[in-house]
């Protein structure tokens, strides 16, 4: 099976896990958590770990997932008036961070 199918299944699986625990997190931390965002982040963290451990080598999928997280962060920033002006900073900084992470893992 191609790696992309495992990644897509992972996003779906993590989504349902985060959806199940979302009410507890929202109540305890007094925040509105996005289950989709958490699923994508969880997936790329696992994929990054498997890359670092040498089990999987897929910088393309990592880049796609990390890029989705950057985009999600900028959409989240739109909810807060004080952060709207920093969207370009988030895009530039996020892109640089992802680039250096992916360069570091080779």
Tokens of 105: 């893992």
d(CA 66, CA 90): 13
Predicted pLDDT at 12 = 98
Question: How many residues in total does the chain contain?
Answer: 106
Predicted pLDDT at 95 = 95
Predicted pLDDT at 3 = 92
Predicted pLDDT at 39 = 97
Task: Write down the pTM of the prediction.
Answer: 0.87
Instruction: Quote the domain boundaries for residue 79.
Output: 3-105
Contact between 33 and 26 (Cβ < 8 Å): yes
Predicted pLDDT at 82 = 83
d(CA 44, CA 35): 14
> Which stretches of the chain score pLDDT less than 70?
none
Contact between 69 and 41 (Cβ < 8 Å): yes
How many independent structural domains does the chain possess?
1
Contact between 83 and 77 (Cβ < 8 Å): yes
């Amino acid at each position: 099976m191609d790696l992309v199918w495992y990644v897509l299944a992972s996003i779906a699986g993590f989504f349902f896990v985060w959806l199940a625990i979302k009410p507890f997190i929202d109540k305890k931390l007094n925040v509105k958590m996005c289950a989709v965002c958490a699923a994508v982040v969880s997936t790329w963290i696992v994929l990054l770990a498997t890359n670092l451990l040498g089990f999987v080598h897929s910088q393309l999928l990592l880049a796609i997932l990390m890029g989705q997280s950057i985009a999600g962060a900028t959409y989240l920033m739109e909810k807060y008036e004080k952060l709207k002006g920093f969207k370009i900073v988030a895009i530039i900084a996020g892109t640089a961070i992802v680039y250096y992470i992916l360069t570091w893992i080779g």
